[in-house]
Structure 1
Amino acid sequence: MQNIYEQVRELENIQGLSKHEQLVRGIINAINDKLIQRGDMLPSVNSLIRELGFARETIAKGYKELVSRGIVESKNRIGFYVATENTESSLRIALIIFAFDSFQEVFYKTFRDSLGATAHIDIFFHHNNIDVLESIVASVRGKYGMYVVAPIPHKRTAGILNTLPLNKFIMIDRHQPMPGDFSYVVQEFEKSSYAAFSKLAPAIRKFQGMIHYYRPASDTPVEIINAYKKFVKDFKINSVIRTEYIAGSIEKGYVYFTINNAELWQMLKDAKAKGFRLGKDVGILSHNDEVVKEIIFDGITTYSTDFAVMAEKAAEFVLTREKVQLVIPTLLLRRGSL
């Protein structure tokens, strides 16, 4: 402890350095000089008041900055500890998402680039498992300066996420209601899906019917299947809902709609093997756009939100701490497949 006090006192006469900045810099210097290391307990607020004569508010402000930068972690009713020896990182961010699918990779790369080189991002995957999400949140709580979370639609989610500090939290991808005033940058599924289907109705009616593949236990938003059922009823479309696509089962005369990329690639492989022309013999619609869907087979028709914009807005909140509550628009991208 004495080493920390000495490091702080050495900065007393530096012009333009406030007392809270003096405390922050002193602790960082102690870490850089290997006087303290990861896991070591830092002096209590009362000890710092007694040894340095700083105001309680000044010390609280200094520790708050160190915690927000991810250098120090706070353990409730125990104290403050050194969280990392990497003091060059200005901010540590916990990014908690479903998995690393292609569109989430777009989000991550844009998010990382928008934050700049000094931010440190740790990625955690909950795979739509509520127990995994709860375990991740418990393990990261108090150790990061910002928490960016794609939630799970589950009755336990709100209670889990509310254990995080809402001023350091932003919800991404899908919106999950929970108490408190919090920031979010999300997409909307039901109205946007219905709007996309409706615009495609004239093209869909050229075929005998439409087949949608939906796995009830998957992370696919239930709002999409609700919108689909309403659409086929309102527009009197001959429709079948199946749980999975069976390789080789594609038939001429139908529109195929899947959210699962593995199923999409198999459909395209089967269509090519059978000599079907996309947009003529069969129609194909996909959710969540990406570059490859724009290129292959003269383009696959998709409807999708812009995950790059979502990432930019989330990064802006992380950098500025200015509250944001935004729903990113969903766009229909017409191409040759439908």
Structure 2
Amino acid sequence: MTNNSLFNSADKMPLPKQIARHVARQIDNDELLPGQILLSINEFSARHKVARDTVEKAYKELKSTGYIVSVRNKGYYVSGKSNARKKILLIFNKLSSYKKEVYYGFIETIGDKAAVDLQVHHYSSGLLKEIIANNLGNYHSYVLMAHFDRREAKKNYLAIIKELPQEKLLLLDKKLVELKGVKAVYQDFKQDIYDALSSANTLLAKYKAVTIVFPPDSNHPGEIINGIREYCNHNKKRFAQVDDAATVTPARGTVYIFITDEDMAVVMKEMKKKNLRQGADVGIISFNETVLKELLDITVITTDFVQMGKTAAEMVLNNTQAQVRNPFHMIQRGSL
């Protein structure tokens, strides 16, 4: 452990964590083997010219994660990576009721087999870069939701994601074709929406047009629009995309698809003014299930968020190298 590369003045991570990360990497890479004795706290402090309490904090963290053990009056020994409790970093794009379902599905399946930390990049590649810089090397696995601001250049966040060890990365909710060998549990947004609409062809037969209300500031994948457009082309229905729900004048014979609940409420209010009946004069489809939509008898298209979390956890625990398409379905109700 004489390599001074464990110290990086530009690294925002506290020095004890830098030391712990360095030692953990050596153990994971078999540079330090089970049973091997480590430098004592005093020896490490003198050799690397760092404070004794700094080394003590680093060793304490390594003990808490199972990498090393201490033997009274003898010193610190490598426990071995096989005995170390796995550490997983979940990086979500945002927090929402749906993301909570993914999280709980993941945590339930992981159980006590690993320690899980959660961070959020809020659609920002800059924030993701900071998260990675502060945590690189600290985890056995990284699970990332790669949704970013639609104005963000793809090359920017791809370059940042590639800083993570690809064999330890799992992409969640969305896969990136540029990262072909990376594990993923994903939605195929274009095909999923096309298949969901096709499953309701009988109900949709009475409508001549489909309108998607898709706010310009939404960070939902644009593939959703492409899937709806393709469905309309194949089924000879008029397709329209609207940015602002406030500009929508509900028309008979049209199905409206909503990304946000707020936009759905705006259009439903206008429908009520015009005495238009949902499921008869006008169709309504909303993304993602809630109790309120069930009570309002709203047709919903959704992925299985809990299953997404469970599948991702199983793949991490078993180190499964695969890309798995998550289940997606339509809940047909009276609004269609």
- Does the TM-score normalized on the shorter chain lie above 0.5? yes
**Match runs of 1:315-330 below 5 Å:** 315-330=313-328
Q: What secondary structure sits across from 1:256 in the alignment?
A: strand
Please name the residue that 2:182 is paired with.
Answer: 182
Please name the residue that 2:102 is paired with.
Answer: 107
Q: 1:206 offset after TM fit, Å? A: 2.0
Please name the residue that 1:232 is paired with.
Answer: 232
Please name the residue that 2:135 is paired with.
Answer: 140
Whole-Å separation in 1 of the counterparts to 2:92 and 2:206: 39
Q: Which runs of 5+ in 1 are unaligned?
A: 2-36, 49-53, 64-79
Whole-Å separation in 2 of the counterparts to 1:269 and 1:109: 34
Q: 1:247 offset after TM fit, Å? A: 8.4
**Match runs of 1:167-178 below 5 Å:** 167-178=167-178
Please name the residue that 1:120 is paired with.
Answer: 115
Please name the residue that 1:164 is paired with.
Answer: 164
Q: 1:191 offset after TM fit, Å? A: 1.9
Give me the CA root mean square deviation. 3.5
1:24-69 superposed Cα distances (whole Å, 9 cap, x missing partner): xxxxxxxxxxxxx954846988xx9xxxxx9x94715689xxxxxx
**Match runs of 1:1-338 below 5 Å:** 38-39=16-17, 41=19, 57=30, 59-60=32-33, 81=58, 84=61, 87=64, 90-117=85-112, 119-152=114-147, 154-179=154-179, 181-207=181-207, 209-246=209-246, 249-268=249-268, 271=271, 276-293=276-293, 295-298=294-297, 300-338=298-336
Whole-Å separation in 2 of the counterparts to 1:231 and 1:271: 25
**What TM-score does the superposition give when structure 2 sets the normalisation length?**
0.69
Q: What secondary structure sits across from 1:246 in the alignment?
A: helix
The amino acid of 1:230's aligned partner reads E
How many residue pairs get matched? Answer: 277
Decide whether the 8 Å contact of 2:88 with 2:114 is kept in 1: yes
Q: 1:93 offset after TM fit, Å? A: 2.1
Larger deviation, residues 242-251 vs 317-326: 242-251
Q: 1:188 offset after TM fit, Å? A: 0.8
Decide whether the 8 Å contact of 1:247 with 1:267 is kept in 2: no
Q: 1:210 offset after TM fit, Å? A: 2.5
Q: 1:185 offset after TM fit, Å? A: 1.0
Q: 1:203 offset after TM fit, Å? A: 3.0
CA change 1:232–1:61 in 2 (3 A) is farther
Q: What secondary structure sits across from 2:246 in the alignment?
A: coil
**What TM-score does the superposition give when structure 1 sets the normalisation length?**
0.69
Larger deviation, residues 306-315 vs 125-134: 125-134
Whole-Å separation in 2 of the counterparts to 1:323 and 1:122: 22
Q: 1:101 offset after TM fit, Å? A: 2.2
Whole-Å separation in 2 of the counterparts to 1:143 and 1:43: 5
Whole-Å separation in 2 of the counterparts to 1:201 and 1:238: 15
Please name the residue that 1:6 is paired with.
Answer: none
The amino acid of 1:297's aligned partner reads L
Q: 1:250 offset after TM fit, Å? A: 4.3
Please name the residue that 1:32 is paired with.
Answer: none
Larger deviation, residues 282-291 vs 304-313: 282-291
Q: 1:179 offset after TM fit, Å? A: 4.3
Q: 1:218 offset after TM fit, Å? A: 2.7
1:131-176 superposed Cα distances (whole Å, 9 cap, x missing partner): 2322322222122222100113722333222211223211110111
Decide whether the 8 Å contact of 2:86 with 2:114 is kept in 1: yes
